[in-house]
């Protein structure tokens, strides 16, 4: 590892390469799932607000 440039060492500090795939979801996939859940919750909130009528 001493012969590798600093940027190569820092990119692989976790001990996994970018191509390792052992079934875990990627950060992008997790973000998409989280974003979808947020959209669902917002829609549920809008429907709930609509059900209450004009309480404001």
Q: Which domain holds residue 44?
A: 26-50
What are the tokens at 10?
């820092």
pTM, 2 dp:
0.46
Domain membership of residue 30 (yes or no) is: yes
Domain membership of residue 31 (yes or no) is: yes
Domain membership of residue 36 (yes or no) is: yes
What does the alpha-carbon distance between residue 2 and residue 48 come to, in Å, rounded to a whole number? 59
What does the alpha-carbon distance between residue 42 and residue 49 come to, in Å, rounded to a whole number? 10
Quote the number of domains for the chain.
1
Domain membership of residue 32 (yes or no) is: yes
Q: Encode the chain (56 residues) as per-residue pLDDT tens digits.
A: 566 565 555 555 555 555 555 668 899 999 999 999 999 999 999 999 987 766 55
pLDDT for 51 equals 79
pLDDT for 42 equals 97
């Amino acid at each position: 590892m001493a012969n590798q440039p600093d940027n190569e060492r820092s990119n692989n500090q976790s001990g996994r390469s970018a191509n390792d795939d052992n079934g875990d979801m990627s950060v992008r996939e997790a973000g998409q799932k989280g974003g979808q859940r947020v959209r669902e919750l917002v829609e549920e909130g809008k429907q709930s607000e609509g059900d209450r009528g004009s309480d404001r």
